[in-house]
Chain A
Amino acid sequence: MEPPENSNKDSNGFEMAEKIILRWDSTASEDARERMIFETDRQEADLYLQAVDEIQRSLSNASISSSSNNNTVSTGGDDQSKVNTTIQIAMARLEDEFRNILLTHTSALETDSLFDPTSSAASTPHAQEFEEDDNSLSHHSTSSNSLLNLQHCESSDSSSYRSTSSIREVDLMPAEAIADLQAIAMRMISSGYLRECIQVYGSVRKSAVDSSFRKLGIEKLSIGDIQRLEWEALESKIRRWIRAAKVCIRILFASEKRLCEQIFECVGTDIDDACFMETVKGPAIQLFNFAEAISISRRSPEKLFKILDLHDALMDLLPDIEAVFDSKSSDSIRVQAAEILSRLAEAARGILSEFENAVLREPSRVPVPGGTIHPLTRYVMNYISLISDYKQTLIELIMSKPSTGSRYSGDPSTPDMEFAELEGKTPLALHLIWIIVILQFNLDGKSKHYRDASLAHLFMMNNVHYIVQKVKGSPELREMIGDDYLRKLTGKFRQSATSYQRATWVNVLYCLRDEGLHVSGGFSSGVSKSALRERFKTFNAMFEDVHRTQATWLIPDAQLREELRISISEKLLPAYRSFLGRFRSHIESGKHPENYIKYSVEDLETAVLDFFEGYPVSQHLRRRSQ
């Protein structure tokens, strides 16, 4: 073989280099196959890299000489082919080394430590703890969220950038490994083996991400799977997803991205992006598929708050998603996240209007015994006070007024609501008021199913009073509903109380009137004894009946109960006292006065205390002051 025009030194260099590379040809010897250079022999690794450089140099020399010198074209071609073969051997070797270094450092140990701080909350599923956790999530009180306090160690420069961004990269690999990977990547890429490099990198890191996913509890669920799950099971999955997504975006993906940058950034443009997307595109899609499935699941009222949690979490993550997936090639990930966010918002709006429909048409007809608070009232009021807890988010999401108005006007199946007097309120506040309006409307309908009109009024009084108390009990709710509307509600339950009193007591008190007792035109005292006796008997019977019945009725609020009893006593007792004063003598002068005057004023006063306690009185009303 004719030596090329290169200097002897170069040619020697080439032969040395070739020797090293052939020594490590894994198809040629057992030893080369079994041992990894970078793993076992630092010095040899450096020699190997130098050898590759040397071969690359000869390759470019060879191609120059072969194209510039026609005479040596065949030998040049031979040489080139030989160099090429050597390069292929070297690249195959480097690919294996590259893979091996990656594999050696794929332990998912990092994610282990990521999840430790939360594991206490995750492993003790006490409702309370979860609730606390929820609140912290939904209120963005990041200070209590241990996930976000992780890995501070790295950010010694806790500048304002660091503290506002929640991204916390961790080192996925030691610096030496990164340096080796970089050295290899550089040579693979300069020899035209970029694709192999990305391929290997992606496949190894992808399975590393996959095992982290499993540690984080991110499952592969189809939309069908998610639709089949019970809501309760789904709720805990949503909670877990929110936690996991934060770790994924801010730590896992962010760290993967940084690793790509560390290895590839100085090697060539956009290679780091290509490697990053190769690694995380699949996992990111898998991650988002869950939230997407939730966002399109059937809308029902109980889902609202978890959907809002998910929405808030994603909203909170969005800037970080945009930061991590900022390249052109990761466009689809950013787009998907934004789509899910807007679907969740849409779902929240849809659920709110579903809820309104549900409140309006809640169909139970069986009256609650004793006229107490209907379960619907409790449910609705708890629901809207939860809504007020999510005020911040919902004010942003609820942009249109409730769908009432002209469309419903004149429709007897829907209540009216005047928006004119509620000007200046947010659409969310209008929705809340609207929900209270339709709740009352529904309750009004339900009250008609009581046979006793008094009980119907008592029922309305109880329920509206409960609504008022709930609104007053939550500063957020009170602020949104507003004092004007609250006054209206208060007026309404007072009106019900008055109506109740009228319905029950007008007839009872009617017994105690003077009219009809005096015999007109007579010369004697002018009181008809028989009429008077009849009056007392009617009064006694009526009062006993009211007492027996209304003792079983219930006013759960102690103060309201007390107030109503006082109000009853204030009307009943003076009337009875004066009636007794005027007519007692006429009865007592006759036979068996005790048959007519059965009760003293004090007896009645005591009897009123039995009212609205919700139990039947043990005995018939007796004269107790004997």
Chain B
Amino acid sequence: MPATDYQGSSAPLTNLGRSLLSLRRDQVHAMESHHDGSSAASLEVELESFQRQVADRFHDLSSVPSDELLSLPWVRKLLDVFLVCQEEFRVILSNNRAQVNRPPMDRLVADFYERSVKALDVCNAIRDGIEQIRQWEKLLEIVLCALGDTSNVNNNSNTNINNGNCYQRTLGEGQFRRAKKALIDLAIGMLDEKDSGQALAHRNRSFGRNNNSGSHSRDHHHRSLGHFRSLSWSVSRSWSAARQLQAIGNNLTAPRGNEVVASNGLAMPVFTMGCVLLFVMWALVAAIPCQDRGLQVHFYIPRQFSWAAPILSLHEKILEESKKRDRKNACGLLREIYQMEKCSRLLGELADSVQFPLNEEKEAEVRQRVKELGHVCEAMKEGLEPLEKQVREVFHRIVRSRTEGLDSLGRHNAE
């Protein structure tokens, strides 16, 4: 695992973390000329508490059962963690303005703002991705509407559209035709862009849909689904989430001993927040569909940081998830996407195999699948909108803290 262990030959890095903090403790006396003793001590408390809080929060995130990892509630919790960390970080910086405006902190903080502004594009891409998932959810609703019973559908409906007309009670060929259409659209929509071409043909076969079915406008429809996806990205075609992550992580290295000392220890939270930013953005890209996803980002985090272990363990778990056979080509590792994909595939296969009239056994099986699909749909409905709002909040907070920081740096330079 290249990302986890940093056993470089550079000796100073091997005993970073705690040792740096204690190194700094030794230097406190030297620093007291800049800082009166009590505030130096309270700064120390502040910094150590920040490190501990970050560690605790990521420990919480990493200790969830494996079936909760990468679920919508988990991703939302991850963003909550980010927002809290970001806020504490902001407070630390604004409590220590004088120090922050001096070298080497001015440079370190400016670097951090550069990193964070790169995360804004990820936020926008994720917002598009959430919109995309919503489109899939709408197709699922059609399936539920076709094969579900009325009450089920109505419970699922959060639109205020007056639409209680999904009245089918028996499952006939008609309902299956309708559901299959939506399932095919869904399958095409969920294909990763890279393999959409060949897999499209495959999908059509596996759904037992004769290739010459449908009118020309239907053909157009299928072509346009791919097109539709490209429409839903608001960034340029050449934008790449993978490259953006790399840019965020560029030169993100633990501060050197002299930087820690010269910054009165403040270099530590800057590095910590840089890692939190990178990891959170990376996890979002892992979970949510977006343009050119790629998870090959390396995390060089010295183990001595108390939060390193939970973050690296999460990183490892998510990477493992992405390497699973059935997830390799997934358009996002979000658990709900996986369930959606699995349920809809099974249901599609079932729909292809059924004979009419339906025997009881088959019908029960279909009902079961539909029920599962209903649960996924429910989870999406509950989670996507708050998630979208949170992503937007992350965007705002990053902008606000950067603006605040740059203003202060600008004013300082003028003095």
Q: Which A residues have a C-beta under 8 Å from some C-beta of B?
A: 26-27, 33-34, 36, 63, 77, 80-82, 84-89, 91-92, 96, 99-100, 103, 189-192, 194-196, 198-200, 203-204, 206-207, 210, 219-225, 227, 268-271, 274, 281-282, 285-286, 289, 296, 298-299, 332, 339, 343, 346, 350, 353-354, 356-357, 360-361, 403, 413
A195→B118 contact, CB < 8 A: no
Task: Enumerate chain B residues within 8 angstroms of A36, measured Cβ to Cβ.
Answer: 215, 217
Task: Enumerate chain B residues within 8 angstroms of A223, measured Cβ to Cβ.
Answer: 117, 120-121, 124
Supplied contacts A77-B170, A196-B142, 7 more A-B pairs, CB within 8 Å: A27-B213, A81-B173, A85-B174, A89-B174, A96-B214, A99-B217, A192-B167
Task: Enumerate chain B residues within 8 angstroms of A353, measured Cβ to Cβ.
Answer: 407, 410-411
Interface window among B21-29, B72-80, B225-233, B376-384: B225-233
B399→A357 contact, CB < 8 A: no
- What are 22 A-B pairs with beta-carbon distances under 8 A? A34-B215, A81-B357, A84-B174, A87-B174, A88-B173, A92-B177, A96-B217, A100-B217, A103-B220, A195-B142, A195-B163, A196-B142, A203-B228, A207-B231, A210-B231, A220-B235, A223-B124, A269-B160, A269-B162, A282-B128, A299-B406, A360-B414
Task: Enumerate chain B residues within 8 angstroms of A220, measured Cβ to Cβ.
Answer: 233-237
- Residues from 216 to 256 in B contacting A, C-beta threshold 8 Å: 216-218, 220-221, 224-225, 227-228, 231-237, 239, 244, 247
Task: Enumerate chain B residues within 8 angstroms of A189, measured Cβ to Cβ.
Answer: 163, 165
- Residues from 266 to 319 in B contacting A, C-beta threshold 8 Å: none
Contact of B163 among A82, A85, A91, A268 (CB under 8 A): A268
Task: Enumerate chain A residues within 8 angstroms of B414, measured Cβ to Cβ.
Answer: 356-357, 360-361
B415 CB → nearest A CB, Å: 7
B19 CB → nearest A CB, Å: 37
A39 CB → nearest B CB, Å: 10
CB-based A-B contact count at 8 angstroms: 176
Say yes or no: A222-B227 contact (C-beta < 8 A), given A81-B174, A357-B414.
Answer: no
B174→A86 contact, CB < 8 A: yes
- Label chain A's interface by main secondary structure: helix
B413→A357 contact, CB < 8 A: yes
B131→A281 contact, CB < 8 A: yes
- Residues from 167 to 199 in B contacting A, C-beta threshold 8 Å: 167-170, 172-175, 177-178, 181-182, 185
Q: With the chains together, A281 CA to B181 CA distance in Å? A: 25
The answer to the question of B353 belonging to the interface, with a C-beta cut-off of 8 Å to chain A, is: no
B215→A357 contact, CB < 8 A: no
Residue of B nearest to A97 (CB): B217
The answer to the question of B9 belonging to the interface, with a C-beta cut-off of 8 Å to chain A, is: no
Contact of A357 among B141, B220, B410 (CB under 8 A): B410
The answer to the question of B127 belonging to the interface, with a C-beta cut-off of 8 Å to chain A, is: yes
- Residues from 368 to 415 in B contacting A, C-beta threshold 8 Å: 392, 396, 399, 402-403, 406-407, 410-411, 413-415
A357→B411 contact, CB < 8 A: yes
B98-129 vs A, Cβ < 8 Å mask (1 yes, 0 no): 00000000000000000001101100100110
Task: Enumerate chain B residues within 8 angstroms of A77, measured Cβ to Cβ.
Answer: 170
Residue of B nearest to A199 (CB): B138
Contact of B236 among A27, A82, A219, A282 (CB under 8 A): A219
Q: With the chains together, A223 CA to B216 CA distance in Å? A: 39
Task: Enumerate chain B residues within 8 angstroms of A343, measured Cβ to Cβ.
Answer: 399
B403→A346 contact, CB < 8 A: yes
Residue of B nearest to A33 (CB): B215
Residue of B nearest to A86 (CB): B174
A222→B235 contact, CB < 8 A: yes
Task: Enumerate chain A residues within 8 angstroms of B227, measured Cβ to Cβ.
Answer: 207
A88→B218 contact, CB < 8 A: no
Residue of B nearest to A339 (CB): B396
Contact of A81 among B160, B165, B170 (CB under 8 A): B170
Task: Enumerate chain B residues within 8 angstroms of A271, measured Cβ to Cβ.
Answer: 161
B24 CB → nearest A CB, Å: 31
Task: Enumerate chain B residues within 8 angstroms of A191, measured Cβ to Cβ.
Answer: 165
Contact of A96 among B160, B177, B218 (CB under 8 A): B218
Task: Enumerate chain B residues within 8 angstroms of A285, measured Cβ to Cβ.
Answer: 127-128, 234
A168 CB → nearest B CB, Å: 25
B165→A207 contact, CB < 8 A: no
B415→A413 contact, CB < 8 A: yes
A131 CB → nearest B CB, Å: 29
Residue of B nearest to A198 (CB): B138
B162→A199 contact, CB < 8 A: no
Contact of B120 among A26, A34, A282, A296 (CB under 8 A): A296
A92→B145 contact, CB < 8 A: no
The answer to the question of B10 belonging to the interface, with a C-beta cut-off of 8 Å to chain A, is: no
Task: Enumerate chain A residues within 8 angstroms of B138, measured Cβ to Cβ.
Answer: 195, 198-199
A88→B174 contact, CB < 8 A: yes
A199→B139 contact, CB < 8 A: yes
B401 CB → nearest A CB, Å: 12
Contact of B178 among A88, A296, A350, A361 (CB under 8 A): A88
Task: Enumerate chain A residues within 8 angstroms of B118, measured Cβ to Cβ.
Answer: 224
A514 CB → nearest B CB, Å: 55
